[in-house]
A and B are shown apart, each in its own frame.
Chain A
């Protein structure tokens, strides 16, 4: 069984984004596709998934030419896709999301007991037993939703499984389950197309690696023949000297002080201090309560106990508006649901939190707003360069992320909370983001960086707080910390 992609081109309007892609994958092969944000990876897999038609080119599977006019056609052909963006219906249970269309029936009615049992069995078998089938999908953390997405693609075993950045939201043991799963599928002869920005896992999992740059395949290689820095250079078209900036000078006075902050069922007795000009990492496994803590600090949820002080003055939990006025900003972890307004332009999105900053009388001064936005598009190298007038959901995932960061930078925050800001962001862009965050910190802004990426949470920060099960389980100085130390605390093994 061979999957062959030949000469695939794709244009949106007048702009061609894929310029003739050729790929070949054999039975039981894990083919990694890597490339910078906007290189065209997702576009390619959408074509393979039948979600978008190619403008030109051919797809062959098992010696047969495929004519995919819809996702349904792709399913029939045995191609299953897990998209970069979550697609679950939040109001439905996990069971319904998984088995919709094939819910077991008895006497014409849905047999719920059997349905939940089947869904749970499927999850357990895949190593995602932590997810309960009876939960509503919208109540699950992003990581657990991702597991359900993967399970959904495996309800019936596909010939080809396409995973678009499946690991972006997973960490720790969840990540291990995913890798184990991919290896099992591989043994059973499934072709796995694996897209990821995490090159270490690409090296560990893939049989072969295809590098795409600006819509063209620039290299086809194997993990044995290449290394990370070469891949990064291939993707970016330039060499990156270093990833993380120098450490910052000693931090200033305490800016934010959190005392005994508690929210039942989310986190408990959380205390820490953030000082001016410092970048503090917050690591923890899924479910440790990091995002919940972030939302609470941002005034989005009310704590059950404890206090947050900004410059010594108690911060009232009066909603995001008040928090922003006090100088807080939050980049949330779920880009699609809480990060972007998909129906609006990049410009509208970037300006959203600061519309009143460029007023002339009662009206927004379009020229000034445009200039501010253009400055951000340049600063973050948001692509395409003329994207300000484009709908934001036409941008690649990584570029959307940059736009969200830009939105909050315009607000000039004193304390910036970043929840997984480099999720789905390519290496070169990450470096840009680390540099920007570093510049911000050097100019006195305080940054709380929530991340599931161990290397990043140590490399890009001055200190690391580790959360375990809703509590702060340890604090480490980034300068001397090792990944093992951080990980051990996050699973509650070592004392602080």
Chain B
């Protein structure tokens, strides 16, 4: 009943197997993690250096280093949360609140204490987010969206007008230099180094990564999912608080309206770095790469004097392009 068509002998030359580079796994070997970024970075730097006069000036580079601190700190916290398959939309509002509170307190408190209170506010907000999400089993998107408006509101309640402390000591944290490198940049790098070790080498960090992969398995392995979720959001809140205080100190004026849509940049940095919003996958190093790429794009567009609305359009398109290149180089299925 069958046509016994003998299939022709196999002649076509060996098809080379599709290139499949290992993915970026926290703790896994990141042999290939560089490739995508190095290409993107080199392209951006060359582009910037060739098409603008000011890119390679000391002033611009210092500026670049300073500007990446906010998104950098937010991105690390965001990564921790994304690894658990969550999201933290409230970080932009926390930046505003922490900044304005510390600026406001400078009049009454010693400066270090005022700054510490700003960071502590971030810790507190993160803790509340985490407790709501883990304790009541609420969706992270919903909880942190509610936190976004609540905390923004609180910032305006604290002060409707920007606060610019007169004490020059307030600016020290944000503007100090260590050699050629801004101190805030060093703080950010410190957060990434310690944060990287935390995620790859401590039981709590590994638990956070594992929860995003399969929380049932983690729970049955005797690890408290709730506790680690709270920890993850607290870390994100802490980073946001720190970012807010540093930002206020750098620009010297704290505005209740600052930080709108910062969460999106932070998420973009993680995703450019290969993190999966489904959780369990993401790399600290690659996220830092994402932060640098994002900052370079901003800087480039600024130097070219691109009008700000067009900047947003271009940035969006460039982010998509970078992500596509990045995914390809990681051998992700199209």
Residue numbers of A with Cβ under 8 A of B are 1-2, 4, 6-7, 11-13, 26-27, 53, 55-58, 60, 62-63, 65, 298, 300, 319-321, 323-325, 330, 332, 337-345, 348, 351-353, 355-356, 359, 362-364, 366, 389, 391, 407
Q: Which of B12, B15, B217, B281 contacts A352 (CB 8 A)?
A: B217
Residues of A within 8 A of B220 (CB): 298, 300, 320, 330, 332, 338
Q: Which of A330, A344, A366 contacts B213 (CB 8 A)?
A: A344
**Contact across chains for A58 and B17 when beta carbons are under 8 A apart:** no
**Contact across chains for B280 and A355 when beta carbons are under 8 A apart:** no
What is the minimal beta-carbon distance from A291 to any residue of chain B, in angstroms?
A: 12
Residues of B within 8 A of A332 (CB): 220
Complex Cα distance A338/B218, Å? 8
Q: Which of A11, A58, A320, A407 contacts B219 (CB 8 A)?
A: A320
Residues of A within 8 A of B3 (CB): 62-63
**14 other A-B residue contacts (CB within 8 Å) besides A341-B218, A353-B221, A391-B28:** A7-B10, A55-B17, A56-B10, A56-B15, A60-B7, A323-B222, A343-B25, A343-B214, A343-B280, A345-B27, A352-B223, A363-B201, A364-B202, A364-B203
Complex Cα distance A298/B222, Å? 10
Nearest-CB residue, chain B, relative to A392: B213
Residues of A within 8 A of B214 (CB): 337-338, 340-343
Write out, one digit per residue, whether chain B residues 272-292 have a CB within 8 A of any chain A CB (1) or not (0).
Answer: 000010011100000000000
Q: Which of A1, A27, A364, A389 contacts B28 (CB 8 A)?
A: A389
Q: Which of B1, B17, B25, B222 contacts A344 (CB 8 A)?
A: B25
The dominant DSSP class at the A interface is: mixed
Complex Cα distance A337/B220, Å? 11
Write out, one digit per residue, whether chain B residues 1-30 have a CB within 8 A of any chain A CB (1) or not (0).
Answer: 111110100101011011010110101110
Q: Which of B186-216 contact A (CB under 8 A)?
A: 197, 201-203, 206-207, 209-210, 212-214, 216
**Contact across chains for A341 and B28 when beta carbons are under 8 A apart:** no
Q: Which of B2, B20, B29, B222 contacts A325 (CB 8 A)?
A: B222
CB-CB under 8 A for A63 and B25, given A6-B10, A340-B217, A341-B214: no
CB-CB under 8 A for A320 and B222, given A60-B7, A62-B2: yes
What is the minimal beta-carbon distance from A332 to any residue of chain B, in angstroms?
A: 6
Nearest-CB residue, chain A, relative to B281: A343
Residues of A within 8 A of B216 (CB): 337-338
Q: Which of B7, B206, B217 contacts A355 (CB 8 A)?
A: B206
Residues of A within 8 A of B302 (CB): none
Residues of A within 8 A of B223 (CB): 321, 352-353
27 residue pairs from A and B, CB less than 8 Å apart: A2-B4, A12-B17, A13-B17, A13-B22, A26-B2, A53-B18, A55-B14, A58-B10, A65-B7, A298-B220, A300-B220, A320-B221, A323-B222, A332-B220, A338-B214, A340-B217, A343-B212, A343-B213, A343-B281, A344-B280, A345-B28, A351-B206, A353-B222, A355-B206, A356-B203, A363-B202, A366-B201
Residue numbers of B with Cβ under 8 A of A are 1-5, 7, 10, 12, 14-15, 17-18, 20, 22-23, 25, 27-29, 197, 201-203, 206-207, 209-210, 212-214, 216-224, 276, 279-281
What is the minimal beta-carbon distance from B65 to any residue of chain A, in angstroms?
A: 29
Residues of A within 8 A of B29 (CB): 389
What is the minimal beta-carbon distance from A256 to any residue of chain B, in angstroms?
A: 18
**Contact across chains for A341 and B210 when beta carbons are under 8 A apart:** yes
Complex Cα distance A353/B207, Å? 10
Residues of A within 8 A of B224 (CB): 321
**Contact across chains for A6 and B7 when beta carbons are under 8 A apart:** yes
CB-CB under 8 A for A344 and B210, given A56-B14, A56-B15, A389-B29: yes
Complex Cα distance A337/B212, Å? 13
Residues of B within 8 A of A352 (CB): 206, 210, 217-218, 221, 223
**Contact across chains for A321 and B222 when beta carbons are under 8 A apart:** yes
Complex Cα distance A254/B17, Å? 57
Residues of B within 8 A of A58 (CB): 7, 10
Among A320, A330, A352, residue most surrounded by chain B Cβ atoms (within 10 Å): A352
What is the minimal beta-carbon distance from A59 to any residue of chain B, in angstroms?
A: 9
Closest 5 A-B residue pairs measured CB to CB? A343-B280, A343-B213, A341-B213, A324-B222, A63-B3
What is the minimal beta-carbon distance from B27 to any residue of chain A, in angstroms?
A: 7
What is the minimal beta-carbon distance from A191 to any residue of chain B, in angstroms?
A: 11
Nearest-CB residue, chain A, relative to B333: A52
**Contact across chains for B2 and A27 when beta carbons are under 8 A apart:** yes
CB-CB under 8 A for A55 and B15, given A342-B213, A344-B280, A366-B201: yes
CB-CB under 8 A for A355 and B203, given A6-B10, A56-B14, A338-B220: yes
Nearest-CB residue, chain A, relative to B219: A320
Complex Cα distance A239/B169, Å? 80
Residues of A within 8 A of B7 (CB): 4, 6, 58, 60, 65
**Contact across chains for B5 and A60 when beta carbons are under 8 A apart:** yes
Complex Cα distance A55/B222, Å? 42
Among B22, B25, B221, B280, residue most surrounded by chain A Cβ atoms (within 10 Å): B221
Residues of A within 8 A of B276 (CB): 343
Nearest-CB residue, chain B, relative to A8: B10
